[in-house]
Amino acid sequence: LGAPADGSGINFTPGFPSYVSGHATFGGAVFGILRLFYGTDTMKFQLQSDEYNGITKDSVTNKIRPVRTRYYQSFTQAEDENFLSRIYLGVHWRLDQEA
């Protein structure tokens, strides 16, 4: 479906059937527990990826990646971004996240 025959490309959509996303499942569990623990969904916080921390290098360009901090207003906002990231990466379909 438009993928190069040699399997190269900017993304790495796997060549196997779709399954429930473990990434989204564990993320949903974590944020669900945080909502129960704090008794609210509204909680301002920030997260920073280990890949974009101003220290690690890009494996292709060998340049240091910039700091990319995400700011959240709620656990649901972070949970939704975690859920959607797997779709944007090309390793899951929406149904895999909602199962």
- Please provide residue 16's backbone torsions phi and psi, each rounded to the nearest 5 degrees: -140, 165
| Active-site pick, 2, 9, 11, 23 | 23
How far apart are the C-alpha atoms of 86 and 99, rounded to whole Å?
Answer: 14
Active-site residue, 23 included: yes
How far apart are the C-alpha atoms of 22 and 36, rounded to whole Å?
Answer: 21
How crowded is residue 74: how many other Cβ atoms within 10 Å of its Cβ? 16
With 0-12 / 13-18 / 19 or more C-beta atoms within 10 angstroms meaning exposed / middle / buried, residue 78 is: buried
**Active site residues per annotation:** 23
